Amino acid sequence: MKIRKGTYRIASSEGWKTQEGSHAMCYPFFIHKDPCFEGWSLSHIATGHNIRRNMKLKEVKELARFLQGFPLFLVPTLETFTIQLELHKKNHPEKHRAMMQRIKGE
């Protein structure tokens, strides 16, 4: 995955927002350097929502690769993601717990 400079879109409280800066695609995620934080952030491409902020580049790349193994992120909307997340929690509690611990940095 190559870091590039350019524009990318993220979700905000006001809706979709375009930002300029360094970013890389790691489907279904993108890694970006948010101007509001010192470190790197990991966001979901389809929904634009942030997964984790203020990490070192190496850490955020590792997290993106780890989360690629979870098919629940392969959804087009926030609503379908919410449904899939609840199903994942119910049907695979151990995997869900491990995923959430990794996202939270525990």
Domains of the chain, by residue range, sit at 4-104
**What one-letter code names the amino acid at 83?**
I
pLDDT band of residue 48 (cuts 50, 70, 90) is: confident
Burial (CB < 10 A; 0-12, 13-18, 19+), residue 35, is exposed
Which helix H or strand E contains 102, and what residues bound it? helix 93-104
Which helix H or strand E contains 83, and what residues bound it? helix 78-91
Strand-pair partners of 26: 29
The candidate with the shortest Cα–Cα distance to 99, out of 65, 60, 70, is 70
Mean pLDDT of the chain: 91
pLDDT band of residue 51 (cuts 50, 70, 90) is: very high
The model carries a pTM of 0.87
Above 90 in pLDDT, residue 27?
yes
pLDDT for residue 66? 96
